[in-house]
Structures are given as structure tokens and as C-alpha cells.
Structure 1
Amino acid sequence: MSHTFHIPVLGLGYSIDTPLKVARYGISSTLSIVDDDLIERMRAYHMAQSGQQYFPIPKTEADYRSKRITAYLNFLNQEINDQFDRLKQSSFTPGSEICKYFELLPESSSLKHGYELMMDYPEGESKRIFQNVLRKAMKIGAADVNIMAKVDKLNFVNGSYTGDENSDAMAAFRGFANSSLNSSVILSAGMNPRLYSYIEHFDEFLPDDHARFRKKIILKVSDFRSASIQAKFLAKKGVWVSEFRIESGLNCGGHAFATEGYLLGPILEEFKNKKIQLLDELFTTYQRVLLQRGIDLNQKPAQKISVQGGIGTAKEQVFLLKHYQLSTTGWGSPFLLVPEVTNVDQRTLDRLAAAKEEDFYLSNSSPLDVRFNSFKNSTADFQRMKRIEKGRPGSACTKKYLCNNTEFTIEPICTASRQYQHLKIKQLKSAALTIAEYEAEFDKVTEKVCLCEGLCASAYLKYEMIQPKESEAVSICPGPNLAYFNNFYALHDMVGHIYGKVNLLGDNHRPHVFINELNLYINYLQSEIKDQLFSLTDKKRKQLANFKMQLNEGIEYYKNLFKQVPDSTFPNIKECFNLLETSRFKLNQLMII
């Protein structure tokens, strides 16, 4: 692998075409394939930009969702490979694309060492031979796709169910499987047995004689137990997990899937200690299932482990890679401030660059009823408040990707929709609630926002693709780590920061990634205790007590870890210990009565 970091998926529209911008430099990135309307419009836009003829795939066409995704991914694959071929053939002159490719590489890269040595060679045949060797060694970055496994709306036509294979997640998966991309599909947000069972029907995910894959499966997980359960389920279906992508439960962007108090450091330690055992268990099952299909595989396929969520300095990057024996780290939210990589409209970009820690918070605004990382100054939140003031809370639900509520209707609707909020508020008014109770419940209902439109709007604004009557309100969901980055950056600046060539944080005081996450979890526990104050059951009391115990055990783990590693690994090691004690004191002040 050329680089030791990857760019995770960023919302719906923020990284929808990021591979077009970074893959030729050997940088891997991920796009969401949830929204086929966005995908179809982006295909039309980029084909026009590259002078290609665009043939639309209308919603009246059979299996249109899958076909739209396949068409866009095929376009990306062809365009990225064409970019890479042109880059490889460019001359090794300062400022050229091929020089940029090598200069972005980390100092530890043998390929970069070869490049620097070649540049010092005198002109002549030896230099040309050296250049050709370097060209052959170059690797293109992966264009991976992300599916939120449980965002799997069932679809109906004229009241008739169209079948399991046409549910949203299944159709999206089929779109990737049928594409020409040789990359990975990242399955996130929990296990979907129906989708996971579907994978075995695609030969593209089977290994060749050397245990290599044309298409791979990556599981995004928050703890070892979840990873083990999901991977074993897939192995029994003859599906291999090529990578476990561990994401911090709270110190990340988008939806926040909090663990039961398990912190990132202890989770990584468990993966490190148990990965060989898990690999052996998975291969035993996988090998047996493949043999039943007539495939005799004697070589274990590769299995990587990576991490993402709240990483902010080169020293954290190096420590995580080395200490926990990881393949890559993920840097997501900071790339929202890199206009040449992601799609953030200028107004939102300005607000993000000026934001402080208090501007990033965990909300209940997602219709999925999962905590959601939110930004206080988003235009979507302003729009939500205006609609409430006008007496018309909620959004017009046009895309229907997050319709999962049947409280008032037979067919599922979205809790952010005007229809649902009208019905729910009507119910609240008829209930015997005090004014304070009504206002609290009203706020819960109207906090939900339309993510289907809000997470696409920024891309449409940036490319000037907004259609008449289409909302311009932007939802953005960066992780809290973005508070420490306060400017716009070029790609080479951000990559240089990741590899320690430059420091984009300046004098900003930023605690270590582990301590930041710990404090997010303590704040989360405090919020959970407050929410349960008047309705705490024995089951919930036990759960919160266990949560608190796990956090205390995590603090002990970090204290021991900080003692073991060299001081140079953790700048201001004394401050790290002091912050741990401060966090422990705050944690133990939380009473679960």
C-alpha cells in the first residue's frame, strides 16, 4: 500500500466523488451508495465535464436503483484508471502530476526513497530505466463504497411488495457487485442477516488460487465481539472479511454508535491480542464451506485491521499503526476542510473553519433514532427552527430512504417528515401532559431533520446543480475532532500534516485522541443518567453501572499504557496523566441511583 491512511465515507454527498480527486495519487477513499438520485445526478455532471454522452436511467426502468449505482461506479472506475494512466506517463519535472504522487508519500515509503534517489540521478539512460521501474511500482488508490446495512427500506409498487432483492441495501449491494470496480464494500451500522446472506450469490467475492479477491468485504465495527459475530456469520456463508475497520463509538462523524463503555484503546488491544485466533477460526469455517462448493483453498486470505475516529496528529497516527499493528488509519472530518477533496459549499466551509469545540455536539436529530454528530451553525438547523416558528415543523419526504416508523401508518414513514410530526404533535396535544412535559416531547419530535436532502445539498450547491424548489439547507455531521482545525487546506497540506511534515494545528491545545474519546463517553454517560432520571429501571441501572465500570477500566488501561511507551510517543505525558485523573474524578461524581 502506498499510503498509511484512508479517507472514510463522509455523509452522502461530501465524498460522493472523492475517488475522482485522490485515487490517482494512491490514496484510498470511500463513497456512499445509499442515494441513487444523487449518484445519477453526479454521473450526469461528471460525464458532461469529461465530454462523454450521458444516457439517463429513469425510475421507470426495472431495477433502476442497482443499474444507476453500477453505471456511476463503472464511470468512476474508467475515469480513475484513465487519470492514473495519464499521471504515470507524465514527465518527472517539478510540479508535474507524477511528482505530486511521489511527494505525497510518507517518508517511510521505499517508493518515495527510490523517487528521491532517481531525481538526483544525472540525465541519461539509467535515469529513464529507473523512472520506468518507479512507474511500474505505482499503485492506484481504492474507490471503496459504503452501505449502512440496516438502512434497508422495503419497496412497493402499486401496493405490491417488490421482493427482498429490491430492498434498498440489497439493490445497492448488487449495484456494486455488478460494477467493474475491483475494490471493497464497507458494511456499517450493524448486522443485516438478509443482506449478509445475499453476498454468497456473487462469485466476484470468491478468492482466486492465490487467495486474492476481485471485490472485498470490509466490516466497520466498534468492538471485537461485534466483529467476531458478524465475520463468523459471513464465513459460514462462504464470505471472507478482508478488513475490520474499527471506528470510535463517539469520536467520529455521522451516526455515533456508542459502545457499552468500551474505549478505543482497550478495543484495539483486544483485536491485537486475538486477531490470530480469530483468523484461524474464520479460515477453518471458510475453507470448509468453500470445499463444499468445489473450491480447495489452502492459503489463508489476508485480513487487515484499521482504525478511524478522532485522530489528529502525526504522532497519534504513527503510534496507532505501530503499537496496535494496524494497516491504515482513517482521517475523515479534517478532509471536509480540503475543498479539492470533498464537497462542502463555501458558506458551510467558512463556518466550519471558524468553529469552536462547543459548536460540535451529539444530537437526536437522525430519523434512525441513533445519536448523530451535529454542527450548531448548519443551515439545516436554521431551516428546522423557521419551520417550527411558522407552525409547519418537519420536511417534505421526497426520497424516503429513512422511512421506518409505522406508529400512525401502515406503510413506514420518516420521523423527520411533516406527515409524521403533524400526527405526533396532534397526539401530544390530546394527551394529558403538563406544559413542561408537552414542550419536552414537542422538542424531541421536532428535533428530527431530513438527512436525505441535507447531506446532499452541499454537493449540489458546490457544483451549482440545485434544482427549482429544491432545499438549499445543508446538514453536515463532522466529528468533534474538527474543532482543532481552523482553516482551509490543500491536499498536500493535509497529507503533510498526517505524515508529520507540517503542523496544521498550530498552537491549538488538543488532548490526546484517547483522552478526547474518554471525555466524550463520560459526557454521554452523564446525558444518559439525566435522561433516565425519573424512569430508571433495574435493567437500565445495571447497564449504566456496567458502562461506568468499563470507563474506569479504560482509564486504568491508559494509565498503564502511558507508563509503558516512550515519553516521545505522547507529547506532554505529564498532562496526559493529569487529564486522566481529572476525567476519573468527573466520572466518579456521576451517581447512578
Structure 2
Amino acid sequence: MQNSLHTFSIPVMGTGHSIDSPIRVAPYGINSVISIVDDLLIERIRKHYATLFELPYENIPRNAEDGRARRITAYLDLVHEIVNQKFEDIKKQPFFRKNEKSRYFEMLPDSSDLKKKYQKLVEMASGSTRDFIASELTGEMRPGSIDVNIMSKVDGFSFPKSGQPMTAEYSDGSAALRGYANSQLSSSLILSAGFNPRLYNYLAEFEDFYRDVKGQIKKKIILKVSDFRSALIQGKYLAKKGLEIFEYRVESGLNCGGHAFASDGYLLPSLLKEFREKKEMLSSSIQPLIDKFYEEERGREFSTEWVDNDPRITVQGGIGTSGEARRLLQDFEMDATGWGSPFLMVPEATTVDEPTMQLLQQAKEEDLYLSGVSPLGVPFNNVKNTGSAKWHQKRIEKGKPGSQCPKGFLESNTEFTENPICTASTQYQLLKIDQINQSEVSDGLKAKQREKVLDKACLCDHLGNGALITLGILKPNRAPQAICPGPNIAWFNRQYSLQEMVAHIYGKIDSLVPVERPHMFAKELVMYVDYFEELINQSESPADDLRKLTRFKKNLEDGMAYCLEISKGQAYEHENLESITRTVEEQSKRLGELYESLQSSALVLA
């Protein structure tokens, strides 16, 4: 269970923006994550890269038996082959030249033993000793991990011509898991978006998630978690099946890209403090369950010679400077950080089409917002004026709102139909708007309800279109583009090279963002007070919601106090601690005013 050579990774970004990131960055030793939700997009990308690299390709049609799993396996195996090919080409290059091999080593963090050895080599005089060390260095190179992400709750069932749903192993989540499990990859599976017992149970069907006789695990499990309690519960659940967690990946509830799963007012610093203080429990409470499984189910003891059974803890969500990263790694003792949105501005790492790239470069803080576009009903980080938004608006104006739902991965609503349909589909939106129009509520409320319905967008299709445009598979006018950046991207206003962004992450160059950029902790705090205000505005019964919102406020206040404590310490270079002090003062006052208005409403309506 090897760790990365780097102290950062590139998380999953939508269904398409990191779809080929491993091909781009893994040859340089950088870990990145592919979404395997959209197997139909994956098949088109596979065809493109098979053609580009002159590798065999045979289409797996949409109606093929177990087609979803097979498409995913075929693509992951292709990515594996291409990454290895590119990596071996880099390894063969000579030292002491300005080439891809020098880029590989120069991008490593200065703290890396491999980097130190490389720097020593560069300073050595020619001779047999230098040749020996050069050979050793080449042998110690390794590619980045080709990791995959499954959203646990995106686990619907297909309905064949018979109209009856297929059996459990053919659910979307299970088929995606099987596709990964059957691949050649030795990497990590990231499970996100909640706890799905059926999917977790299915993991136990595949030996690659268990230790072999040498104690190695070919496919590791990473859980994206929102708090320590959730991490412990899920870790114990899997441990009873002998499944170990390689890494717990903590993400800010709001200050992130994609879907935002807000906590109950717990700010990221408070969550990380708890992980730091209790991380030993993630081994001491769970390892006995693993030991018991191997003894009772495998008939052998869990060997004390097997290493790396203490899980890593990493963090992502809104990180924007090297100083913030250093605080997370050093003060909070995180094992690594995840940098998502900034890499949307790095064409060497992600697939963002030119119109959307221009939109991101020009985006200000006010253009980035939590939207209601996701058919999952979960807040979704968005930017104004995307190609997808314009496409949907044109359909609304023509009286044909919504999408024809070409893929159906987010079909879950049975309000009007026996089989699930998507709330972003034309079928659902027309039915729902008709119901709203015939209701007896006020015209003002009808307008708000219609707006909420029409807000839903076709994320299944549109989140992958940027990749298809970038790779030349589709024209921009035939592929409406959606994207899901975090608010952090407002401070990155141009395209960057891969080496430039990595140097920024490690503080090797002047910061790419201005000094006035608020600290990630300050930005998250503002977002949570915004969210608190939205909860109040949406409350239909303030008296009934008062207790829940009081708890939310208390958690926020505790988090503010801790942020204030952090702000009084010594700042790392490129870390704007002063913004935390100012923000806590402003938002504390605002929170109090919002709570007073809530109490007044609760008393009036009680």
C-alpha cells in the first residue's frame, strides 16, 4: 500500500473534467481520480485514446450483456496501458537534459527523499558513482495512481424491455464497482456521497480488496467522509468483512467543487482537530475486527509483519495557497491534500473546453454559487452563464423545458410514474409544472415552485461534454457544457502549466493568487453563514426548526472560536491569517442578527 511521491492529489471533478487526468499526470508520479459514473462517456473517450495511441478497440454496445461493467473495465485497462507506456518512455530518457524526466524530478516536493537524491545527482561529477546513482534513481521512479470514484448513492437500476429492474449486481453502483474490480489496476477506489450498505457488501465479493499472502492489497479503499463519527462507523462496518480503509478523505461540506454535502454547522478546522486528536481510534477500534475476520474467515492470523495498516487521513476543499497546505499537513497532521478546482485551469491536467475556460478565467466570487441544478436534490457548486444554463433557458422559452434524458443515471423520482424518471427530464418538468399550475397556492408561490423545478439541469450529459469538445469528439454547438468548480477558482484567472501549478502548491514560486485572497477557513465560514441564512429563508415552520437551527448556530460559533484561536498564531508564508480574524468578527455579528430574526419569526408563528 504505497503512498504517493507527492503530498497532494487531483480529486475527481465532475464526470468528464478528470476523465483522462491519469493519462496526463500519472506518468509524472501524480495521483488523480476518474469518475466512473458515466460509462457511455467512458466508451467514447476509450475509442478516442485507442485510436490516438494505435491500440486495439472493439465497441461495447449500449445493450451488451453486462455492458456497463465491461466498458469501465476496458477503459481503465486502456488508461493503465497508456500510462505505463508514457511512464516507461520517461524513464528511458537520460538525466542532465531539459526533458520530461527532469520535469518528473523537479516537480517533486523538496522534502522528498527521491528529490534530494536527484539534487545530489545533479551536483555530482561524471563517473561510475554518478552512473550508479542515476540507475538507482530511475529504478525508484513510479507512476501516479489511477484512482476511481463511485458516488455510492448513484445506484439506480436499469429497466430492460420487460419493465422489470435487473438484479442487485446490475445496479449502477455495483456494475461500476465490478468494472473497476475486474480491471488490471492496482490503485484506489474512492467511495463518496454517503453510506450504501448494498454496495459496501458487494466489495467483499472481490479478492483484490483483501490482502494477499504477502500482505499486499491490490485495490485499496478510500472513504470520502464528512466527520469523524461517520468515518468510524463506516470503517467498522467494512472491517467486519475484513476490508481495510487505506485512507479517510475529509472534505469541506461547502467550500468544494461538485455536490456540497453541508455539515450541521461543523467547520473544517473543527472536524480536522477531531481527526487529529482521535485518529488512533481509527486503528485501535477497527484493527481487532480485521484480526477477527482473518482468524475466523481466512483461517490465518493477520501478520504483524504486514505494514501500512494505519489509515491515512487527507483533506480537500478550497485549498488555494502553499501556506494553507502547510497548515493542514503540519498543524493538523494530514497525510496529504487534494487540489481540485485550480487544476481546471491547467490544460495539461484536465479537460475544460475553450468557452468554459474563458468563463472560468473571467469568473468573480459573485459568479460562483451554490445552485439547485442537481437532480439529486443536493446543493451543487456552479458558475453562472454556462453553456448548459443557456441551453436549458432556450428550451424553457420554447415551451419544452428539461432534457430528453439520454443517459438516465440520476433517475430516482416516482412521483408521477411507476419507473423512476429524472427531475431534470422534460417528462418530469412538464408534469410537475402542470401540477403546480393547477394547485390552489398563491401566484407568487407558484412562480417560486416553477423556478425550482426548471432549475434542474441535465448533469449526466452536460458534465461530460467539456471533455468531448476538448478532445475534438464533439463541436461546442452540439454539446452544452456544465462545470462544477468550487468558489476558490475565482482567484485563479488564467491558464497555468502543470509545473507552474505544482510549484505553487509547494511554495517554490511566488503565489499565483493575490495576497488579499481570504483564507480557506474564512471563506468556508462565510459560506456556512450564507447557508444558515438560506435554511432560515426556506423554513416553513420556524418554531419547529428552531431547535435544529440553534444547534447549527452553536456548532458554527464553536468553529468560529477555534478559527479565531488559529488566527492568533504564526502565519505560514502565503497564508492570509488576518482575513480569519476580520471574517469571524463580521460573520459572528451577522449570525447573531440572523438568529434573532429566526427567534422573532418562531414566536410570532408559534
Q: TM-score, normalised by structure 2?
A: 0.95
Is the 8 Å Cα contact of residues 253 and 478 (structure 1) preserved in structure 2?
A: yes
Structure 2 equivalent of residue 523 of structure 1: 530
Match of 2:71 among 68, 73, 84: 68
SS of alignment partner, residue 431 of structure 2: helix
Structure 1 equivalent of residue 36 of structure 2: 33
Structure 2 equivalent of residue 260 of structure 1: 264
1:517 deviates by 0.6
1:107 aligns to 2:110 (yes or no) = yes
Structure 2 equivalent of residue 380 of structure 1: 388
Worse-matched range after superposition: 244-253 or 273-282? 273-282
Q: Matches of residues 5-44 of structure 1 in structure 2 within 5 Å? A: 5-44=8-47
1:497 deviates by 0.5
Structure 1 equivalent of residue 175 of structure 2: 171
Q: Matches of residues 472-491 of structure 1 in structure 2 within 5 Å? A: 472-491=479-498
**Whole-angstrom CA distance in 1 between matches of 2:92 and 2:384:** 46
Is the 8 Å Cα contact of residues 519 and 576 (structure 2) preserved in structure 1?
A: no
In structure 2, do the counterparts of structure 1 residues 245 and 126 end up closer, same or farther at CA, with 3 Å as the change threshold? same
Is the 8 Å Cα contact of residues 354 and 470 (structure 2) preserved in structure 1?
A: yes
Match of 1:589 among 586, 593, 599: 593
**Whole-angstrom CA distance in 1 between matches of 2:528 and 2:164:** 45
1:87 deviates by 0.9
Structure 2 equivalent of residue 212 of structure 1: 216
**Whole-angstrom CA distance in 1 between matches of 2:507 and 2:231:** 31
**Whole-angstrom CA distance in 2 between matches of 1:172 and 1:588:** 46
Structure 1 equivalent of residue 556 of structure 2: 551
| Aligned AA (1:43) | R
| Aligned AA (1:522) | V
**Whole-angstrom CA distance in 2 between matches of 1:297 and 1:221:** 26
1:581 deviates by 1.3
Is the 8 Å Cα contact of residues 8 and 331 (structure 1) preserved in structure 2?
A: yes
SS of alignment partner, residue 589 of structure 1: helix
Structure 2 equivalent of residue 305 of structure 1: 313
Match of 2:582 among 557, 578, 590: 578
Structure 2 equivalent of residue 286 of structure 1: 290
Structure 1 equivalent of residue 602 of structure 2: none
SS of alignment partner, residue 204 of structure 2: helix
Worse-matched range after superposition: 246-255 or 112-121? 112-121
1:232 deviates by 1.1
1:275 deviates by 1.0
Residue identity (%): 45
Structure 1 equivalent of residue 431 of structure 2: 423
Is the 8 Å Cα contact of residues 155 and 162 (structure 1) preserved in structure 2?
A: yes
Structure 1 equivalent of residue 516 of structure 2: 509
Q: Matches of residues 77-156 of structure 1 in structure 2 within 5 Å? A: 77-156=80-159
Structure 1 equivalent of residue 507 of structure 2: 500
Match of 1:183 among 187, 191, 207: 187
1:121-147, CA deviations, whole angstroms, 9 ceiling, x for partnerless residues? 222222211101111121210010000
Structure 2 equivalent of residue 272 of structure 1: 276
**Whole-angstrom CA distance in 2 between matches of 1:309 and 1:10:** 12
Is the 8 Å Cα contact of residues 322 and 573 (structure 2) preserved in structure 1?
A: no
Is the 8 Å Cα contact of residues 338 and 491 (structure 1) preserved in structure 2?
A: yes
Is the 8 Å Cα contact of residues 317 and 338 (structure 2) preserved in structure 1?
A: yes
Structure 2 equivalent of residue 244 of structure 1: 248
Mark the runs of 5 or more structure 1 residues left unpaired by the alignment. Answer: none
| Aligned AA (1:434) | S
Mark the runs of 5 or more structure 2 residues left unpaired by the alignment. Answer: 600-606
Is the 8 Å Cα contact of residues 485 and 504 (structure 1) preserved in structure 2?
A: no
**Whole-angstrom CA distance in 2 between matches of 1:436 and 1:416:** 23
**Whole-angstrom CA distance in 1 between matches of 2:242 and 2:383:** 42
**Whole-angstrom CA distance in 2 between matches of 1:68 and 1:464:** 21
Is the 8 Å Cα contact of residues 457 and 471 (structure 1) preserved in structure 2?
A: no
**Whole-angstrom CA distance in 2 between matches of 1:235 and 1:35:** 29
**Whole-angstrom CA distance in 1 between matches of 2:576 and 2:193:** 36
SS of alignment partner, residue 31 of structure 1: strand
Is the 8 Å Cα contact of residues 268 and 324 (structure 1) preserved in structure 2?
A: yes
In structure 2, do the counterparts of structure 1 residues 406 and 49 end up closer, same or farther at CA, with 3 Å as the change threshold? same
SS of alignment partner, residue 248 of structure 2: strand
**Whole-angstrom CA distance in 1 between matches of 2:518 and 2:483:** 24
| Aligned AA (1:229) | I
**Whole-angstrom CA distance in 2 between matches of 1:305 and 1:506:** 27
Q: Matches of residues 396-415 of structure 1 in structure 2 within 5 Å? A: 396-415=404-423
SS of alignment partner, residue 172 of structure 1: helix
In structure 2, do the counterparts of structure 1 residues 375 and 575 end up closer, same or farther at CA, with 3 Å as the change threshold? closer
SS of alignment partner, residue 55 of structure 2: coil
**Whole-angstrom CA distance in 1 between matches of 2:543 and 2:293:** 44
Q: TM-score, normalised by structure 1?
A: 0.97
In structure 2, do the counterparts of structure 1 residues 126 and 371 end up closer, same or farther at CA, with 3 Å as the change threshold? same
1:264-283, CA deviations, whole angstroms, 9 ceiling, x for partnerless residues? 00101111111112211111
| Aligned AA (2:555) | Q
| Aligned AA (1:52) | L
Structure 2 equivalent of residue 296 of structure 1: 301
**Whole-angstrom CA distance in 1 between matches of 2:351 and 2:481:** 11
How many residue pairs get aligned? The number is 589
In structure 2, do the counterparts of structure 1 residues 568 and 61 end up closer, same or farther at CA, with 3 Å as the change threshold? closer
Match of 1:46 among 28, 37, 49: 49
| Aligned AA (1:330) | G
In structure 2, do the counterparts of structure 1 residues 136 and 374 end up closer, same or farther at CA, with 3 Å as the change threshold? same
**Whole-angstrom CA distance in 2 between matches of 1:356 and 1:175:** 40
1:467 deviates by 7.8
SS of alignment partner, residue 243 of structure 1: strand
CA RMSD of aligned residues (A): 1.5
SS of alignment partner, residue 500 of structure 1: coil
| Aligned AA (2:524) | E
1:316 aligns to 2:324 (yes or no) = yes
**Whole-angstrom CA distance in 1 between matches of 2:108 and 2:127:** 26
1:464-491, CA deviations, whole angstroms, 9 ceiling, x for partnerless residues? 21289x9411110000000011111000
**Whole-angstrom CA distance in 2 between matches of 1:72 and 1:421:** 34
1:506 deviates by 4.4
SS of alignment partner, residue 212 of structure 1: coil
SS of alignment partner, residue 369 of structure 2: strand
1:389 deviates by 1.4
| Aligned AA (2:229) | R
Match of 2:352 among 338, 344, 350: 344
Is the 8 Å Cα contact of residues 319 and 569 (structure 1) preserved in structure 2?
A: no
